[in-house]
Structure 1
Amino acid sequence: MTQAEANKQTAAAAYQRIFGDLDITGVDEYMSKDFIQHNPTIADGPEGVKALVRMLISQGVPKQKSVFKHVVAEDDIVILHSRYEMAGKEWRFIDIYRIENEKLAEHWDAMMPMPDVRGNNNPMF
């Protein structure tokens, strides 16, 4: 298995465990202790992600199977394009992770809810 393939597996497994299964213990298993977060609404480090997962649970976000449309890797970067149910809406996410020593070390993202009124009939996923 190439390093890129291993990184894809790590990122997808981490995403499922943390955000699909809403399992806070996955944060310690899959994230580096000095995790860098580029989403400005979430604090750096594993504690920031744990706080996010706790918030999702408190808002009634269900456990769900992560569905990836694209999983792309180059060198130490993995891009996940996924769908997610949150706040009664279907969302699309693009998460970018930098992998270091088999751990998620850095994160960027973009997200959007499925609009109520669509401007076209092209699928978002």
Structure 2
Amino acid sequence: MTQEENNKQIAITAYQKIFGDLDIAAIDDYMSMDFIQHNPTIADGPEGVKALVRMLASQGIPKQKITFKHIVAENDIVILHSRYEMAGKEWRFIDIYRLKDDKLVEHWDAMMPMPDERANNNPTF
């Protein structure tokens, strides 16, 4: 398996365990201690992601199987395009992770809820 394939598998597994299964312990398994977070609403480090997962669970977000539409890896970067349900709405996410030594070390993202009314019939997923 190439390093890029290995990085894809790590990112997919980590994302499912952390955000699909809401498994707080998985954060320590998959994230580096000096994890850099570029989402301005989440603190750096594993503790920032733990706080997010606790908040999601406290809001009744269900455990769910994450569906990935696109998974792209280049060098130490993995990009995930996924579907997620929060607060009764479907969301689409683009997450970009940088990996080092088989750990997630840096993260960027963009997300959008699916609108009640669409301006076109093109699929978003």
Output the TM-score relative to the length of structure 2: 0.99
Long gaps (5+) in structure 1: none
Number of positions where the alignment pairs a residue of Structure 1 with one of Structure 2: 125
In structure 2, the residue matched to 1:68 is 68
1:123 match: secondary structure: coil
Measure the CA separation in 2 of the matches of 1:39 and 1:85: 19
Cα drift, residue 87 of structure 1: 1.1
- Counterpart CA distance in 2 for 1:91 and 1:102 is 28
Q: Please report how far the alpha carbon of residue 71 of structure 1 lies from its aligned counterpart in structure 2 after TM superposition.
A: 0.4
The ranges of structure 1 where at least 4 consecutive aligned residues each deviate by more than 2 angstroms after the TM superposition are none
1:101-116 paired onto structure 2 within 5 Å? 101-116=101-116
Q: CA deviation at 1:60?
A: 0.4
Q: Secondary structure at the match of 1:42?
A: coil
Per the alignment, residue 52 of structure 1 pairs with 52
- Corresponding position: 1:34 with 2:34: yes
Determine the structure 1 residue equivalent to 2:100.
100
Q: Which runs of 5+ in 2 are unaligned?
A: none
Q: Could you tell me how far apart the structure 2 residues matched to 1:88 and 1:45 are? A: 29
**Offset of residue 50 of structure 1:** 0.1
RMSD of aligned residue pairs (Cα, Å): 0.3
* TM-score of the aligned structures, taking structure 1 as reference length: 0.99
